[in-house]
Structure 1
Amino acid sequence: MATAAQVKTLQGKFVEGSTMRHVINMTATGSVGLIAVFLVDVLNLLYISQLGHHELAAAVGYASTLLFFHTSVSIGLSIAVTATVSRAIGSGDFPLARQFAASSMYLIAGISLVMVSLTYPALDLLLQVLGAQGETARLAARFCRLVLPSIPLLAFGMALSALLRSVGDGKRAMFVTLGAAAATAILDPLFIFVFGLGLDGAAYANICARIVLAGVGFYGVLKVHQLYAKPSKEVFQRGAKAFASIGIPAILTNVATPVGNAAVTTAIAAYGDQAVAGWAVVSRLIPMAFAGLFALSGAIGPILGQNLGAKRFDRLRSTMRDSLKFTLIYVSIVWILLAIFSHLIARAFDATGMAEDVIVFFCMFVAGSFLFNGSLFVANAAFNNLGYPLYSTVLNWGRSTIGVIPFVYFGGLWFGARGVMAGYGLGVVFFGVLGVWLCFRVLHRIEQHQHH
């Protein structure tokens, strides 16, 4: 059992102290983990492209598109974990938090196993739908067959990391992702080159990294925080209901982003391979440069959840304001740096002609639009954790369809490849502003509701 002292420390770390400090600390630890994962992804492609067969790199591209869908679902489920568990911790009900934590692990195990068993037999068909053909399709299917069974480990790892964030242990949550990234960085070149396993080696390294991910997570959650208690039937049903009401919209919210990106890819493809190559660099650059924003949306969830559980409405407001301030400062710094180094970045990726033009234009002008993207991330995280997850689904799909398709279409029509990039940036402005406005409306409504 957890000792009295332990329960004390777990009673809402975020319900006191400066909200800005909590936002910065949780975002910083989250960013380190995320950057490590993105870096390893880039390394992985780099190693495989060094094998000299372009089918291999293409196969990994198709496979990762297919596997990204599973990752999106895992992210959605981990958002549900944070929202349910952090609220119970904030309200000071630690036994309930432990039962909710256990319920969410059971649910995630079930959901990820069902998904793998549905995807596995349909692999060839799914890759065909994505456009993989011949040797590339065969290699992509082989890679997926090896990696797919480890999806439940990935889902577990993400959920465990979310549980550690829910109790306010940002540092251990960071070690979960860092451990997996380190394992991939070490094992990838070893399996691919030293053991001569090629593409299979990349798959095996991937599986080992997921074992590390889940292992480090389980240690932190079960050993350090003892955040597990067998749930009663009643708590399990209550947990499952809360889990579904947040998890399903959160999964739908996450799946919207690749849809928007696909629309940009389609629009820019009209300007030839060089333009597509430029956009490919930009879409690799975005997660690296704006990792702080991606981490912020995961970081503020537990802060909002705990304060909602503790009914500290003043702190909900100040968390939102501090997150938006953080977004403004962070984006301004990154934008200035990208603008200064835009030509260097293009050169680092050997981009010339149209590809260079797309990259430089993004760095100089479009990067600033991430102020609105970041605001939308913050608003979405708030909706998910304050019990309005459908708002984030509608906003994200709005952004990825109405906020992308007409903008990149007309942008391209009038100003070519640059116009596509400009459209991609402009389309988010309305949704960013709307998200923030709605968010403060929701906070007001929650407060009124509690006072009546």
Structure 2
Amino acid sequence: MGGNPVNRPHAAFCTGRIARHVIVMAGTGAIGLMAVFIVDLLNLFYISWLGDPAQTAAIGFAGAISYIQIAVSIGLSIGIGAITGRLIGAGRIEQARRVASSFGIVMLGVCLLIGLATAWLAGPLLGLLGARGEAARQATIFLEIVSPGLPLIAVGMGCSGLLRAIGAARISMNVTLTGAIISAITDPLLILVMGFGLKGAAISTILSRLIVALIGFRCVRSHGLFGRPIRTHVLSDTRLVGQVAMPAILTNLATPVGSVFVTHAMAGFGLAAVAGQATIERIVPVAFAVVFALTGSIGPIMSQNLGAGKLDRVRETLVTSLWLVAACVAATWAILFLTQDIVVRVFSAQGTAAMLIHLFCNWTIAGYVFIGMLFVANSAFNNLGFPLYSTLFNWGRATLGTIPFVWMGMHFGPAGVQVGQVLGSVLFGSCAVMTAFSVVRRLHPGDRVTEQAMPVIPPPQSGEAGMIELDELDHSA
């Protein structure tokens, strides 16, 4: 069999300048994330053109449920990326491929069950959020179409996490961009031209996710990150990744759960308040794409250097990331402060919705520096062997840092709800980043804490080596 041998994953982040790695990974990750969230923003933009408040509010209600689904997928992708990154950093390439393959199957099964359950229970779940009438009906239709396709997100995010784990940031970005381009083309066609409304947005979302899943899987295979799953290892590999993935899922669920409470609080002030909140929640991921991308971007840098025992580079990654957060929030605040009137006009916001957007662009946007600190700290916890810390801080922010503050803010109207949502992040973001520095200071080569952060992989069983060789032949030529 002729042709080039399969590409081999390698520890790209264990050499070179940390600042460059962080900026490149965060920058490419931000473009990919921005593309994903621009799809949501475009959905809202085109739906707002229909001039139907019920459909605009339905996007907000459905989004609150969808974010919970996506949080599970993100948690699973964090787990598979963190473990494979550590293994690659430690030079255990074959074991990294096996773990990626085994857990990939589990991701698909878990997300399929969640997606089908959400589609079946869409009506009652939306009722708990306060959705009523036409808004509830439209949101139900959206979830019934989109939710069964949740495994497509699992494939896309899982492959993206694996590509980032080996430093293939540009390829990961290009995969996501392709899906966004598909959405940008089909959104106006289905929503406006063909008149499908919210149903068209759902169909466009499914098509985009399908393209991302197919291209992502092909890219991961071409980089040699998938081997043939070995039946006797699936359970042990799943348990290994689950040690990071389960706390990461719980961590990521905290944010949408907090968002659900905020949406429910806004619903008490009418559809305009829900529409304003929905607009802000779709502006934020695009405006702060670099900050959001840091969670997935710096993880591979930390995990590879931890696996290689280069702990000084782990500390440097944490410090560089925090400086990047501060710079990004300052720049975004300046831009939105100057363009807030344009934002209000673009989304046809009026009354309460317009007031909430102005409040965000003027003042509450500043709270995202602390949310960014929390994201960076969470990435450190997940990739350095302390995932329960990220669970603790994220749930602390979503409960103690959200519910009491939002409840008190409700007495001052929808503006008070928005302010209350931000105030809790100041406390928990500050505490989380101080704890992250404490964790990094405790890491020393060969100590008990550092050893616990490293994955323990059982040796290959009989026949495993042969299967790997056969799979490499499949990739060659």
- Return the TM-score normalized by structure 1: 0.90
Q: 1:217 to 1:319 in 2, by over 3 A?
A: same
- 8 Å CA contact 2:44, 2:279 repeated in 1: no
CA apart distance, 1:360: 2.8
Q: What is residue 28 of structure 2 aligned with on the other side?
A: 29
Secondary structure at 2:326 match in 1: helix
- Name the residue aligned to 2:147: 148
Question: What is the alpha-carbon distance in structure 1 between the residues aligned to residue 319 and residue 133 of structure 2?
Answer: 52
1:34-57 C-alpha deviation (Å, 9 max, x unpaired): 111222212123333444555444
What residue is the counterpart of 2:359 in the other structure?
361
Report the CA distance shift for 1:339/1:247 in structure 2 as closer, same or farther (over 3 A): same
**Cα 1:390–1:148 shift into 2, 3 Å:** same
The one of 252, 255, 259 aligned to 2:253: 255
2:190 matched residue in structure 1: 191
What corresponds to 2:213 in structure 1? 214
- Bigger shift: residues 40-49 or 164-173: 40-49
* Aligned equivalents of 1:187, 1:212: Cα separation in 2: 13
The C-alpha deviation readout for 1:233-262, integer Å capped at 9, x for no partner, is 564333211221111111111111122223
Correspondence for 1:401: 399
Structure 2 residue 274 is matched with structure 1 residue 241:
no
> Structure 1's 232 and 203: CA in aligned 2 closer, same or farther, altered over 3 A?
same
1:76 paired to 2:75: yes
**1:87–1:308 Cα contact (<8 Å) kept:** yes
Per the TM alignment, residue 86 of structure 1 is displaced from its structure 2 partner at its CA by 0.6
Structure 2 contact 118–143 (Cα < 8 Å) conserved: no
Q: Is the 8 A contact 2:31 2:173 kept in 1?
A: yes
Contact 1:36 1:178 in 2 (8 A): yes
Q: 1:123 to 1:361 in 2, by over 3 A?
A: closer
8 Å CA contact 1:80, 1:247 repeated in 2: yes
The answer to whether residue 127 in structure 2 is matched with residue 125 in structure 1 is no
Alignment partner of 1:290 is 2:288: yes
Larger deviation, residues 143-152 vs 260-269: 260-269
- Which range is displaced more, 393-402 or 229-238? 229-238
Measured in 2, the distance between the counterparts of 1:68 and 1:342 equals 26
Is the CA contact (8 Å cut-off) linking 1:382 and 1:439 kept in structure 2? yes
Q: Which TM-score applies when normalising by structure 2? A: 0.85
2:462 maps to which residue?
none
Q: Conserved in 2, the CA contact under 8 Å of 1:80 and 1:250?
A: yes
Given residue 149 of structure 1, which amino acid in structure 2 is its aligned partner?
A: P
Alpha-carbon distance change, 351 to 372 in structure 1, aligned in 2, over 3 angstroms:
same
Q: CA deviation at 1:62?
A: 3.6
Partner of residue 277, structure 2: 279
Q: Which amino acid aligns with 2:297?
A: A
Q: Distance in 2 between matches of 1:193 and 1:451?
A: 55
Structure 1 residues 21 and 109: alpha-carbon distance in aligned structure 2, compared to 1, 3 A threshold = same
Q: Show the counterpart of 1:17.
A: 16
Output the CA distance in 2 between the equivalents of 1:205 and 1:354: 30
Query: Deviation at 1:427?
Result: 1.8
Distance 1:78 1:431, change over 3 A: same
Residue type at the aligned position of 2:246: I
- Which residue is 1:438 aligned to? 435
How far does the alpha carbon of each residue in 1:64-104 deviate from its partner, in whole angstroms, 9 at most, with x for none? 33333221111111111111111111111111111111112
Please name the residue that 1:182 is paired with. Answer: 181
| CA distance 1:451–1:164, shift in 2 (3 Å) | closer
Aligned 8 A contact 1:175 1:216 in 2: no
Runs of 4+ in 1 over 6 A off after TM superposition: 1-5
* Change over 3 Å in CA distance of 1:54–1:29 after alignment to 2: same
Q: Which moved more, 1:210-219 or 1:236-245?
A: 236-245
Is contact 1:278–1:359 with CA below 8 Å preserved after alignment? Answer: yes
- Identify which range, 19-28 or 244-253, moves more after superposition: 244-253
Which runs of 5 or more structure 2 residues have no equivalent in the other structure?
A: 452-477
Aligned length, in residue pairs: 448
Which amino acid letter does the alignment assign opposite residue 22 of structure 2?
V
Contact 2:53–2:272 (CA under 8 A) maintained in structure 1: no
Q: Quick check: 1:31–1:295 contact (8 Å CA) kept in 2?
A: yes
Partner of 2:314: 316
The aligned runs of 1:320-339 (5 Å cut-off) are: 320-339=318-337
**Residue of structure 1 equivalent to 2:470:** none
**1:445/1:31 CA distance change after superposition, 3 Å:** same
Q: Report the aligned-residue RMSD.
A: 2.7
Give the direction of change, closer, same or farther, for the CA distance of 1:336–1:15 in structure 2 (3 Å limit): same
Cα separation, partners in 2 of 1:189 and 1:65, compared to 1, 3 Å: same
Report the secondary structure of 2:121's partner residue. helix
Q: 1:429 aligns with which of 421, 426, 431?
A: 426
Q: Partner letter of residue 323 of structure 1?
A: S
Offset, 1:26: 0.6
Q: Which amino acid aligns with 2:143?
A: C
Of 131-140 and 327-336, deviating more is: 131-140
Assess, with a 3 A threshold, how the Cα gap between structure 1 residues 235 and 14 changes in structure 2: closer, same or farther. Answer: farther
With over 3 angstroms needed to count, the CA separation of the structure-2 counterparts of 1:147 and 1:333, relative to structure 1, is: closer
Do the aligned residues in 2 keep the contact of 1:84 with 1:239 (CA within 8 Å)?
no
Distance 1:23 1:63, change over 3 A: same
* Distance in 1 separating the partners of 2:123 and 2:6: 54
Change (3 A) 1:341 1:204: closer
Amino acid corresponding to residue 148 of structure 1 in structure 2: S
SS of the residue corresponding to residue 329 of structure 1 reads helix
Shift of residue 60 of structure 1? 4.2
**Which residue does 2:455 correspond to in 1?**
none
Distance 1:386 1:427, change over 3 A: same
**Partner Cα separation in structure 1 for residue 288 and residue 237 of structure 2:** 33
The 5 A counterparts of 1:44-55 are 44-51=43-50, 53-55=52-54
* Residues 211-220 or 200-209, more deviating: 200-209
Opposite residue 21 of structure 2, the aligned amino acid is: H
Please list the CA deviations of residues 149-178 of structure 1 after superposition, one character each: whole Å capped at 9, or x if unmatched.
Answer: 321112111111111111100111111211
User: How much has 1:218 moved relative to structure 2?
Assistant: 1.1
Percent identity between the two aligned chains:
44
State the partner residue of 1:106: 105
